Amino acid sequence: MAQAKTLNEREVKKVLSNIAMGKHAARNRAMLLMTHWCGMRVGEVAALKIGDVWSIDGGIHAEVRLNAEQTKGKHARTVYLPEKLRKELIAYVAGIDRSDTTKALFYTQKRRSGFTANTLSQFFHYLYKNAAIDGASSHSGRRSFITTLASKGVGVRVLQKICGHANISTTQAYIDVNDEMLRNAVALI
């Protein structure tokens, strides 16, 4: 099976523009950016509870601690939320009921309950297809995140820790070498 497409900045903006025109734009934008800006797996995004990101003092945590049940490998890990993502989450959380912090952060339209990993994966496929991004899947955000950081010079050991991979070879497989990376490497001479 082919790996998920790595999106460039222009393609991500295209998906976000398409999201802005639909229902639940703040929710959909926040979910997509969780994968692209902090490398979360779609199952991890689906497993998030309100209390994982929102603090009762009205702020968004800079770090999200995922417990073992919320991760693929059943190993707890920390996800670091960049400032620009925290701003997106503040906008989203402002529009939802936060009275029960144990409820799902991202809810489905029909049942008002949380997404499952499978339904969110299908939903991401729909978002990418609607934006005419061929080859993209629910894993595209994670691959794009890792590739972007690698192209900016972040070491593979740091990437391994950020992504929660047990083996460095797994992290290396995510990095999609592109022309920009090759040009930058040669320019170092």
Residue with tokens 């691959």: 143
Asked if 112 and 58 sit in the same domain, the reply is: yes
Residues of the chain with pLDDT under 50: none
Residue 45 and residue 101 in one domain: yes
CATH number at residue 131: 1.10.443.10
Q: Is 41 domain-assigned?
A: yes
Chosen domain end from 138, 157, 173: 138
pLDDT of residue 100: 92
The candidate with the shortest Cα–Cα distance to 115, out of 41, 13, 14, is 41
Query: pLDDT digits over 97-150, tens only?
Result: 998 999 999 998 776 789 999 999 999 999 999 999 999 999 999 999 999 999
- Picking from 82, 51, 78, 49, the residue whose alpha carbon sits closest to that of residue 66 is 78
Identify whether the C-beta of residue 10 lies closer than 8 Å to the C-beta of residue 140.
no
> Do 67 and 112 fall into the same domain?
yes
Q: Is residue 93 assigned to a domain?
A: yes
pLDDT at 1: 57
Q: Kindly state whether residues 148 and 59 are assigned to the same domain.
A: no
Q: At what angle do helices 140-151 and 179-187 cross, to 10 degrees?
A: 10
Residue 3 lies in a domain: no
* Sequence-ordered alpha helix ranges (H) in the chain: 9-20, 25-38, 42-47, 50-53, 83-93, 117-130, 140-151, 156-163, 168-174, 179-187
Domain count, the chain: 2
Residue-number span of the structural domain to which 127 is assigned: 9-138
- Report if residue 1 sits inside a domain: no
Same domain, 78 and 154: no
Q: Are residues 116 and 182 in the same domain?
A: no
Q: Are strands 63-66 and 77-80 parallel, antiparallel or unpaired?
A: antiparallel
pTM: 0.90
- Residue 148 is assigned to a structural domain of this protein: yes
